[in-house]
Protein backbone atom coordinates (compact mmCIF):
# COMPACT_ATOMS: atom_id res chain seq x y z
CA UNK A 1 0.00 0.00 0.00
CA UNK A 2 1.30 3.40 -0.92
CA UNK A 3 -0.05 5.71 1.78
CA UNK A 4 0.99 8.83 -0.14
CA UNK A 5 -1.15 7.94 -3.16
CA UNK A 6 -3.69 5.73 -1.38
CA UNK A 7 -3.03 2.88 -3.83
CA UNK A 8 -2.45 -0.82 -3.42
CA UNK A 9 0.67 -1.41 -5.51
CA UNK A 10 0.53 -5.18 -5.77
CA UNK A 11 -0.53 -6.84 -9.02
CA UNK A 12 -3.90 -8.61 -8.84
CA UNK A 13 -3.78 -12.33 -8.02
CA UNK A 14 -6.05 -14.88 -9.65
CA UNK A 15 -6.58 -18.41 -8.39
CA UNK A 16 -8.67 -20.74 -6.28
CA UNK A 17 -8.67 -23.51 -3.73
CA UNK A 18 -8.93 -27.11 -4.96
CA UNK A 19 -8.86 -30.04 -2.54
CA UNK A 20 -7.67 -27.81 0.30
CA UNK A 21 -4.77 -26.19 -1.59
CA UNK A 22 -5.00 -22.62 -2.84
CA UNK A 23 -2.93 -21.63 -5.88
CA UNK A 24 -2.85 -17.98 -6.87
CA UNK A 25 -0.92 -16.30 -9.69
CA UNK A 26 0.04 -12.75 -10.63
CA UNK A 27 2.17 -10.97 -13.21
CA UNK A 28 4.77 -8.53 -11.97
CA UNK A 29 8.10 -7.02 -13.03
CA UNK A 30 11.58 -7.03 -11.53
CA UNK A 31 14.11 -4.56 -12.88
CA UNK A 32 11.97 -4.18 -16.01
CA UNK A 33 11.70 -7.92 -16.70
CA UNK A 34 8.37 -9.77 -16.52
CA UNK A 35 8.01 -12.18 -13.61
CA UNK A 36 5.19 -14.65 -12.97
CA UNK A 37 4.39 -14.99 -9.27
CA UNK A 38 2.82 -18.01 -7.59
CA UNK A 39 1.43 -18.16 -4.07
CA UNK A 40 0.36 -21.48 -2.55
CA UNK A 41 -1.69 -21.95 0.63
CA UNK A 42 -1.65 -25.50 2.02
CA UNK A 43 -1.71 -27.50 5.26
CA UNK A 44 -4.68 -25.49 6.41
CA UNK A 45 -6.23 -26.75 9.63
CA UNK A 46 -7.89 -25.10 12.61
CA UNK A 47 -4.42 -24.31 13.98
CA UNK A 48 -1.95 -24.31 11.05
CA UNK A 49 -1.35 -22.98 7.57
CA UNK A 50 1.56 -22.95 5.12
CA UNK A 51 2.15 -20.19 2.54
CA UNK A 52 4.85 -20.11 -0.08
CA UNK A 53 5.87 -17.66 -2.78
CA UNK A 54 7.72 -18.55 -5.98
CA UNK A 55 8.77 -16.67 -9.10
CA UNK A 56 9.13 -17.82 -12.70
CA UNK A 57 10.95 -15.92 -15.43
CA UNK A 58 10.58 -18.61 -18.10
CA UNK A 59 6.84 -18.83 -18.64
CA UNK A 60 6.15 -21.14 -15.67
CA UNK A 61 8.52 -23.87 -16.88
CA UNK A 62 10.50 -23.53 -13.66
CA UNK A 63 9.79 -21.87 -10.33
CA UNK A 64 12.12 -20.44 -7.70
CA UNK A 65 10.58 -20.62 -4.26
CA UNK A 66 11.92 -17.71 -2.25
CA UNK A 67 9.67 -17.43 0.79
CA UNK A 68 7.89 -19.99 2.97
CA UNK A 69 5.85 -19.24 6.07
CA UNK A 70 4.41 -21.87 8.39
CA UNK A 71 1.87 -20.49 10.80
CA UNK A 72 0.60 -22.02 14.03
CA UNK A 73 -2.19 -20.53 16.10
CA UNK A 74 -0.99 -19.49 19.54
CA UNK A 75 -2.55 -21.23 22.50
CA UNK A 76 -5.11 -19.21 24.45
CA UNK A 77 -4.21 -20.98 27.69
Confidence class for position 76, pLDDT limits 50, 70, 90? confident
pLDDT of residue 75: 83
Percentage of the residues of the chain whose pLDDT score is greater than 90: 74
More confident residue, 59 or 2: 59
Round to whole Å and give the CA distance between 33 and 27: 11
Amino acid sequence: MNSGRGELEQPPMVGRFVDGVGRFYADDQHEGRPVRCRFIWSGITATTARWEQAFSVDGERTWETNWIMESTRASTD
